[in-house]
């Protein structure tokens, strides 16, 4: 493994090892064989062929549950001469199963029937066994910090300029809320599958076995795989549900990207601090560096993942007339897209695990900008009937140096009731966080409910 083209199979292989069992060529060939065998077993109940005997069932079980490296090598050897991947699986199964009725294998099917079900099953398994558990870890990490930091006053920036303060926990809760919404969308996507022959008409099946209700058979077979049945298709399943899944994954990645960028910014402003890792080097020449490399790596992998996910969603929902082959080569990159996505989330989790908030630095940053109280002051004055309150505060604070003393002197000169002046004098930048804590706490509760029930 010294000359890999993709970093997924080289530099990042150890982090992606579990995905090799889902998106490698071996995994795809194994899944095709499994789909063919499951179809064969379902077909056995129709009476189209003599029933399978015990010896045949034992051989079927061996391949279904024990597909080996040697089996894969044999399929590859067959494909080298046939130049057709699904046909190679069929020929392999004819050899390995040694059925008395070998014509039952791949009976009435087209390669698209096998492929669409294989990919959908692999993606479904990835979502359930890898993607959602990983997202749970991200949500758990965010929930823990959002809860711990919910009352920690935190400077806010709109257009990069000081704005009304917030709390660190509430700002993490924003990402938490967005993630929960998109994860629920991801969970709700029902991946679809078809099994209806060369142009979606069941023509060969109906010609060979007209007494079988093939649409009903197809519906039951696809449903037994945990997929939604596509009842009207061409040769290919339209892939709209795949596009929904890729879109939901890409939106989750976009939230992760926003999180990466904001945390990177807060680290650069010394509002968040990183725990140094023993032995880690931040720069080949500057020994002091502790770089936010996990967030940067996550950002880069989101870019790669989303470029591919959007391309997949766009391409796979288009097929010339009843079928063309351009989508087939694109589908082989599904694992690449999801692996970059997996890396992006994993790096975000790693980065989050080593950051903490510097409460003192945050309070100092908020205290340094008393002009943020202008929003509160002009709103209080508006409630007292001062029509030009905004304009007056704008003249006082915009583009000028403002101190607590200058705000106090200005307030003392106002023609308003003393109790209004007292309310304005009592304003503190570090206490001007509105309902941030309760907002953050509400999202934390929702996240905990999801973590406990999912």
Length of the chain: 454
Residue 338 half-sphere exposure toward CB, CA atoms < 13 A: 27
Q: Choosing from 100, 283, 326, 383, which is the catalytic residue?
A: 283
DSSP assignment string, 386-401: -TTHHHHHHHHHTTS-
Q: Catalytic residue at 288? A: no
The closest alpha carbon to 177, from 452, 444, 453, 449, belongs to: 444
DSSP assignment string, 112-181: HHHHHHHHHHHHHHHIIIIIHHHHHHHHHHHHHHHHHTTTSEEEEEETTEEEEEEEHHHHHHHHHHHHHH
Written as six digits, the tokens of 125 are 């398994």
Long-range contacts of 400-407 (CB under 8 A, 24+ apart): 402/370, 402/371, 402/374, 403/370, 404/370, 407/370, 407/373, 407/377
Q: Catalytic residue at 283? A: yes
How far apart CA 39 and CA 45 sit, in angstroms, is 10
The closest alpha carbon to 151, from 164, 134, 170, belongs to: 170
Q: Choosing from 159, 284, 288, 401, which is the catalytic residue?
A: 159
How far apart CA 415 and CA 271 sit, in angstroms, is 39
DSSP class of 371: G
Task: Indicate which residues carry an active-site annotation.
Answer: 159, 283
């Amino acid at each position: 493994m010294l000359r890999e083209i993709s970093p997924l199979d080289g530099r990042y292989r150890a982090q992606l090892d579990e995905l090799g069992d889902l998106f490698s060529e071996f995994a795809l060939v194994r899944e095709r064989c499994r789909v063919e065998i499951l179809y064969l077993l379902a077909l056995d109940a129709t009476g189209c062929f003599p029933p399978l005997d015990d010896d045949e069932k034992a051989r079927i079980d061996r391949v279904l549950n024990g597909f080996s490296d040697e089996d894969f090598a044999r399929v590859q050897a067959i494909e080298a001469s046939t130049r057709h991947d699904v046909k190679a699986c069929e020929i392999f199964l004819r050899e390995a199963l040694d059925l008395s009725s070998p014509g039952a294998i791949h009976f009435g099917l087209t390669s698209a029937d096998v492929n669409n079900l294989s990919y959908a099953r692999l993606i479904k398994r990835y979502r359930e066994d890898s993607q959602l558990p990983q997202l749970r870890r991200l949500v758990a990490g965010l929930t823990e910090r959002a809860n711990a930091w919910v009352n920690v006053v935190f400077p806010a920036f709109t257009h990069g300029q000081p704005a009304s303060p917030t709390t660190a926990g509430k700002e993490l809760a924003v990402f938490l809320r967005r993630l929960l919404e998109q994860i629920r969308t991801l969970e709700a996507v029902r991946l679809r599958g078809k099994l209806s022959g060369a142009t979606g008409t069941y023509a060969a099946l109906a010609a060979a076995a007209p007494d079988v209700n093939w649409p009903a058979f197809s519906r039951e077979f696809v449903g037994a795989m945990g997929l939604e049945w596509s009842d009207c298709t061409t040769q290919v399943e339209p892939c709209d549900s795949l596009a929904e899944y890729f879109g939901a994954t890409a939106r989750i990645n976009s939230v992760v990207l926003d999180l990466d960028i904001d945390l990177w910014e807060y680290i650069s402003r010394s509002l968040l601090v990183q725990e140094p890792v023993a032995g880690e080097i931040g720069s080949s020449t500057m020994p002091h560096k502790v770089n936010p490399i996990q967030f940067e790596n996550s950002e880069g992998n989101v870019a790669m993942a989303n470029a591919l996910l959007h391309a997949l969603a766009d391409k796979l929902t288009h097929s010339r007339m009843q079928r063309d082959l351009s989508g087939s080569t694109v589908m082989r990159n599904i694992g690449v897209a999801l692996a970059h996505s997996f890396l992006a989330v994993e790096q975000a989790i790693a980065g989050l695990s080593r950051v903490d908030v510097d409460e003192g630095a945050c309070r100092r940053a908020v205290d340094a900008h008393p002009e943020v109280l202008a929003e509160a002051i002009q709103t209080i004055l508006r409630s007292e009937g001062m029509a030009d309150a905004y304009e007056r505060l704008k003249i006082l604070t915009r583009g000028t140096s403002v101190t607590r003393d200058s705000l106090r002197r200005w307030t003392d000169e106002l023609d308003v009731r003393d109790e209004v002046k007292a309310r304005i004098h009592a304003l503190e930048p570090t206490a001007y966080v509105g309902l941030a804590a309760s907002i953050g706490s509400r999202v934390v509760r929702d996240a905990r409910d999801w973590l406990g029930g999912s």
